[in-house]
Amino acid sequence: MAEIVHMIDSEVFLAFSTYATIVILKMMLMSPITSYYRLTKKVFSNLEDTSLVKTSEDRKKLVRVDPDVERVRRCHQNDLENIIPFVVIGLLYALTGPDLSSALLHFRLFVVSRIIHTVAYVMALPQPSRALAWIVGLFTTFSMAYRVLTTALFL
Amino acid sequence: MAEIVHMIDSEVFLAFSTYATIVILKMMLMSPITSYYRLTKKVFSNLEDTSLVKTSEDRKKLVRVDPDVERVRRCHQNDLENIIPFVVIGLLYALTGPDLSSALLHFRLFVVSRIIHTVAYVMALPQPSRALAWIVGLFTTFSMAYRVLTTALFL
Amino acid sequence: MAEIVHMIDSEVFLAFSTYATIVILKMMLMSPITSYYRLTKKVFSNLEDTSLVKTSEDRKKLVRVDPDVERVRRCHQNDLENIIPFVVIGLLYALTGPDLSSALLHFRLFVVSRIIHTVAYVMALPQPSRALAWIVGLFTTFSMAYRVLTTALFL
């Protein structure tokens, strides 16, 4: 990490910026999907939210739990648990000055694995599709963390 | 993103540091608020936590779910889902060297929208107050992501 | 924050990279622990996941909530709420050019407090062990945020 100042101006850093932004946008997309399900299925967490839809039902009955909404929310939670570590470790990894080809491999593998993970989760595809996508993302991040710790270790 | 090294030393980066710290502190504030509600209303998730309060009740009955505590927790969760993407995208955006006035507009709009969102959530203000605050924050982040992708795209 | 470019190439930044990676890996570890509990105790959130284990039971009955799994998940959630703010504030703090000894104190205190927090949570140790570990982590992050705001304030 001796020449970190040059690293931040590199193609590796541009690639990191691109893939990190794409995968964060993918994660953010889960919020509007949740809202869409809540509004179309009329399923809410807060009583005041029921005023967002027209209904003849008792509004208190719209404050309920729905399996489809919960599925999207679990997918979103899994994104938080996996994509944020990728972004943090990936930033530090990009600053260690890896080969561009090696960095691109990590970034692309992670982003593709998380897109597959989301499709497998939301569409409830048979396992182990989602489990494998999750493990690929996990190991990609571990591999970058290994390089950060072996390059920059300072305890 | 050609002169990124100079960008990190700029007023835009100082502004990003300031607003990111403020909005992260706002998010962190939700934890003590949750603890305060748990201790004063005697509502816990773990049996061992009930020893933190004096009570004549059966301690097992204090492990329960309370609507006010859940409301604060949903607000905290929404912060995680929105503020963390802002911080990640905002950091990359600050490194693309935007105009100071344009950057300040994005940062201020986001922070104000999230403070309004929290007040609207915790006080259960009538919709669409909270929905609008959430959408403003979302689009502010999308706008910064657009600049990152158009300035730094490297796939 | 005048000479930030030099700061990013410093021992403080290497120390930040090391401790941030360690504490993010600790957080990521909660995912495999959750999976281990789900597979060995046969407790799932999604019907399709039940195909990952052999069972003579009705598969729908494996979609259930288990107190041990929920405990690990609450610990993971608390990590998200505390470790991510530490990483964001810690990065900005490292760029303000603090003394190495002062920075190491903050980073070590935080990482040790979160490891104690996890042990106290997963093993359900008597309170206030977990509460104290949580507060130490919180105040370490507040202390770094204070330095960022007093050094880099630009509103």
Is the pLDDT at C13 greater than 80? The verdict is yes
What was the pLDDT predicted at A5? 55
Determine whether the interchain pair C46/A8 forms a contact, defined as Cβ–Cβ distance below 8 Å.
Answer: no
Contact state of A127 with C15 under an 8 Å Cβ cutoff? no
The answer to whether C24 contacts A89, with C-beta atoms less than 8 Å apart, is yes
Q: What is the pLDDT of residue C7?
A: 60
pLDDT score, position C2: 44
The residue to which tokens 């929920």 are assigned? C70
Of C14, C27, C52, the CB nearest to A1: C14
Mean local confidence (pLDDT), B88-100: 94
pLDDT in tens, C48-101: 999 999 888 888 999 999 999 999 999 999 999 999 999 999 999 999 989 999
Name every chain A residue with its beta carbon within 8 A of the beta carbon of C84.
Answer: 84, 88
Give the one of A3, A85, A121 whose C-beta lies nearest to C24's C-beta.
A85
CB atoms B8 and A8 under 8 Å: yes
Nearest CA in chain B to C146: B21
Mean pLDDT of chain B: 93
Average pLDDT over residues A10-26: 96
CB atoms within 10 A of CB B72: 21
Contact assignment for C21 to A82 by CB distance below 8 Å: no
**Phi, psi angle pair for A137, to nearest 5°:** -60, -45
Element (H, E) at C40: helix C11-41
For residue B115 the two structure tokens come to 């403070």
Dist CA A54 CA A39 (whole Å): 10
- Ranking B6-10, C22-26, C64-68 by mean pLDDT, the lowest is B6-10
List CB contacts (< 8 A) between A47 and chain B. 124
Instruction: Test C4 with B9 for CB contact under 8 angstroms.
Output: yes
* Ramachandran angles phi, psi of B44, nearest 5°: -130, 160
Q: Which of C121, C148, C143, C125 is nearest to C26 (CA)?
A: C121
Interface contact flag, A127 C24, Cβ < 8 Å: no
Structure tokens at A148: 């950060």
Residues in B touching A17 (Cβ below 8 Å): 1, 92, 95, 148, 152, 154
pLDDT at C1: 44
The token pair that represents C17 in the structure block: 């990279």
ipTM of the complex as predicted: 0.93
**CA atoms of C49 and A125, how far apart (whole Å):** 10
Going from the C-alpha of C81 to that of each of A141, B50, B61, C58, C96, the distances in angstroms are 20, 22, 27, 37, 24
Contacting residues of B for C126, CB less than 8 Å apart? 48, 51
Query: Could you give the CA distance from residue A94 to residue A83 in angstroms, rounded to a whole number?
Result: 16
